[in-house]
């Protein structure tokens, strides 16, 4: 049985590369965010201070997938 991801929001603090960002969670913790493949065409929108929706597994709280960009 697959485990559902934990969904939360975050704020991009820094861009490390095209595929890696430092993102702050609402509780102040920082994680490494990697954009979902569906966001490839929207890479230019992933800049500092942009709010995003994140998906995390319960096994690794250091990484997250950026699932959605908030306008």
5-42 pLDDT per residue, tens: 999 999 999 999 989 999 999 999 999 999 999 998 89
Provide CB contacts within 8 A for 1, sequence distance 6+: none
Domains recognised in the chain with CATH numbers: 6-69 (2.40.50.140)
43 φ/ψ angles, rounded to the nearest 5 degrees: -55, -35
Give 43's pLDDT tier (boundaries 50, 70, 90): confident
Quick one: DSSP state of residue 49? T
């Amino acid at each position: 049985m697959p485990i559902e991801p934990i969904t939360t929001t975050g704020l991009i603090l820094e861009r490390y590369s095209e595929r890696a960002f430092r993102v702050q969670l609402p509780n102040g913790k920082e994680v490494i965010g990697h954009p979902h493949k569906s966001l490839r065409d929207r890479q230019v929108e992933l800049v500092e201070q942009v709010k995003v929706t994140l998906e995390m597994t319960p096994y690794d709280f250091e990484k997250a997938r950026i699932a959605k960009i908030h306008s």
